[in-house]
Amino acid sequence: MFEPAVVVDDEPSRVFRKNESKDGFLSVGAHTSDGDRAVLVHVRSRKDESSEAVDEFVELARSAGALIEVVIVVTRTQFDARTLIGSGKVEEILREVEACQAGLVIVNHDLSPSQERNLEKMLSCRVLDRAGLILDIFAQRARSHEGKLQVELAQLQHLSTRLVRGWTHLERQGGGGIGMRGPGETQLETDRRLVALRIAQLKRRLEKVRSQRQEGRK
């Protein structure tokens, strides 16, 4: 049973690092393949929640190829609209990210686009929520042509909710870029349009695959 230390709202944070235990975590998060150094953040609303949820989260991250450096369990009785976990907890996570030079933080909770964006800005690294993690695993395991199309469609639909004006690094004004950008379009507007076009294309291709399968059964 994997038992990381628990970070709660009203006591100093304690974290569980991969090199501080000879059992449990090293076998779960040992560096055995290329991947992103990751800090895992499990967010729970009850202090008496079973540790099985943490174990499942760790296994999901492993399945995605994450190199787990630190696991933090945060207990919140109320969620913060801006970051989900509150600025104090974000600062604690940032210290761990910097200490282990992690390039990825995975949060075992659904994040709104603005929460994901705020966390990435505050942590200066990529942030993935539970939905994004699961989609990544699906993408790795998709084998059939139809399965790959379905996963790409789901990923793009998930991404499309993240393409919002808060992404100031995408707000570059341009006219015409590399044959795709329309006159006067910002990079963000271009990205939105291209994502929408790709989603429509994938839907058409999936419909064609399904029609062909139905025809083959006749």
- In angstroms, how far is CA 146 from the centroid of its own chain? 24
**pLDDT tens per residue, range 118-130:** 999 999 999 999 9
Domain boundary among 103, 137, 171: 137
Which of 4-8, 81-85, 183-187, 206-210 is predicted most confidently? 81-85
Task: Name the residue among 92, 84, 91, 156 with its Cα closest to residue 115.
Answer: 84
Checking DSSP bridges between strand 104-107 and strand 126-128, what pairing results, if any? parallel
**Within this chain, do residues 20 and 124 fall inside the same structural domain, yes or no?**
yes
CATH assignment at residue 91: 3.40.50.11060
State the pLDDT at residue 187. 66
Instruction: Give the integer Cα–Cα distance in Å for 179 and 175.
Output: 10
- In angstroms, how far is CA 91 from the centroid of its own chain? 19
Domain boundary among 104, 119, 137: 137
Mean pLDDT of 192-201: 84
**Residue 204 domain boundaries:** 143-217
Count helices and strands (H / E) in the chain.
7, 6
**Quick check: pTM over 0.75?**
no
